[in-house]
Amino acid sequence: MPLSQTRGERFDDLVLDAVEHLEERWGRHLEGVEFAVEDVPAVQFGGEGGYDDGVVADETAGGSVPLGRLLAPTVDDKGLACPARIVVYRRPLEARAMDRLDLADLVHDVVVDQVARLLGMDPDEIDPPTG
């Protein structure tokens, strides 16, 4: 393990930690799902005042900044199945975090929300609150 990591590598680790936590309970349901990190959102603004249903946006900013996105499973032009993909956007999350612990919580919340959307469940069912 390297002595120092870049911000991007540390962020990737936070996403992996969140995914591993969910795989303990939902591993069978998450088989084949791809998880990815992008620095900034590359999503199209949807019609009628918002993004498409797969986008989690920061509601404190009027829903204007995407934090993550679910891309549903599809079939490509050649008839090959493309798995579901959950994308987490690094820079918008880093900009909203007060510290590393806060960033870990934000990343976890976005991953949980996207998995809940994928499975058609409530986020509290996916990762019940503790306490």
Within a domain: 1? no
Cα–Cα distances (Å) from 45 to 2, 51, 111, in that order, read 39, 5, 21
- The CATH number assigned to the domain holding 105 equals 3.30.2010.20
Q: Is the CB of residue 22 less than 8 Å from the CB of residue 127?
A: yes
pTM for the complete prediction?
0.85
Within a domain: 105? yes
Query: What's the number of domains the chain is made of?
Result: 1
Within a domain: 13? yes
Within a domain: 63? yes
At which residue do the structure tokens 């549903």 appear? 72
What's the pLDDT score for residue 63? Answer: 60
Q: Which residue has the higher pLDDT, 87 or 55?
A: 87
Residue 1 banded pLDDT, cuts 50, 70, 90: low
Within a domain: 131? no
Within a domain: 21? yes
pLDDT digits over 70-127, tens only?
Answer: 998 998 899 999 999 999 999 999 999 999 999 999 999 999 999 999 999 999 999 9
Give percent helix, percent strand, percent coil of the chain, each to the nearest 5: 45, 20, 35
What's the pLDDT score for residue 42? Answer: 75
What is the domain range of residue 118? Answer: 7-41+52-126
Q: Which residue has the higher pLDDT, 62 or 36?
A: 36
Instruction: Give the span between the Cα atoms of 96 and 11, in whole angstroms.
Output: 13
Q: Is the CB of residue 48 less than 8 Å from the CB of residue 101?
A: no
Within a domain: 46? no
